[in-house]
Amino acid sequence: MTGNVQRVGQVIAIAGVATLLGLLVWKVAFDNEQGAADKLAKGELVHAPAFSLDRLDRDGTLSLADLKGKPLVVNFWASWCGPCKDEAPVLQQTYQRYRDQGLVVLGVDVKDFREDARRFMRRYGITYPVVYDGKGSTIGRWGIQGYPETFFVDRTGKLVGERIAGAVDIERNREAFERGIALALGDQS
């Protein structure tokens, strides 16, 4: 009987250690998952990670699949973020300027209050589509590290150009911003 108890104890202990080891391996493997931004920076071919989120500019949801075939400027922002205020007029102007060519500026409001975001949109006269990601479900797959961040997506759904961290169209990144728009539109020149 005593031998049986010892054996059961040993089995439980081994199972416990094996479970903890498994969790550790899973955690390490999970943490190594790269976001789209990292892959883009390495020059890898990467498709824009899909999402389907509630809209802030109107009722209903909007998924990336709904915009299939359209060149996109995807901008991750929040109403509490200072540089987001600086770039908001630029993004709105970009949308108006390239709208006829099919370009869509898509705002993703992250970790924010819905009402604050809507107030922000009214204040800056934003008319392009904006979706709400309060839980930050897009952050990991896109590889977002701060706010704002902007990506360019071509008509085939691939990320093109470079990720712009910080407000767009400032001296530091004006060239990258314009090049990203050109690549999204399919203008290779």
Partner 1 sequence: MIRALALCALVAALLTGTAAAAPSPSDLEAELVCPVCGTTLDQSDAPIAQRMKRYIRERLAAGATEKQIKAELVDQFGPGVLAEPPKSGFDLLAWLVPLAVLVAGAVGVGLIAWGWSRRRGGDDTDDAPVALDPELERRVDAELRRYDS
Query: Which residue, 7 or 68, has its beta carbon nearer to partner 1?
Result: 7
Which position among 2, 32, 188, 189 is part of the footprint of partner 1 (CB under 8 A)? 2
Which position among 87, 112, 149, 162 is part of the footprint of partner 1 (CB under 8 A)? 112
Site string for partner 1, 128-147 (x = CB under 8 A): ------xxx-----------
Candidate ranges 2-10, 31-39, 60-68, 169-177; the one touching partner 1 (CB under 8 A): 2-10
Q: State the number of CA atoms in the 13 A half-sphere of 39 facing the CB.
A: 18
Please answer whether residues 139 and 110 qualify as being in contact, where contact means their C-beta atoms are separated by less than 8 angstroms.
Answer: yes
User: What span, in angstroms and rounded, lies between the C-alpha atoms of 189 and 177?
Assistant: 15
Q: State the number of CA atoms in the 13 A half-sphere of 180 facing the CB.
A: 25
Residue matched to tokens 């359209």: 70
| Site for partner 1 contains 22 (CB under 8 A) | no
Which position among 6, 52, 101, 127 is part of the footprint of partner 1 (CB under 8 A)? 6
Which position among 113, 141, 157, 179 is part of the footprint of partner 1 (CB under 8 A)? 113
Which position among 39, 70, 111, 155 is part of the footprint of partner 1 (CB under 8 A)? 111
| Site for partner 1 contains 12 (CB under 8 A) | yes
Please answer whether residues 105 and 83 qualify as being in contact, where contact means their C-beta atoms are separated by less than 8 angstroms.
Answer: no
Which position among 70, 80, 104, 176 is part of the footprint of partner 1 (CB under 8 A)? 80
Give counts: helices (H), strands (E), the chain.
6, 7
Beta strands in 45-146 (DSSP E): 52-55, 61-63, 72-77, 104-110, 130-133
Q: What residues make contact with partner 1 under the rule CB under 8 A?
A: 1-2, 5-6, 8-9, 12, 78, 80-82, 111-114, 116, 134-136
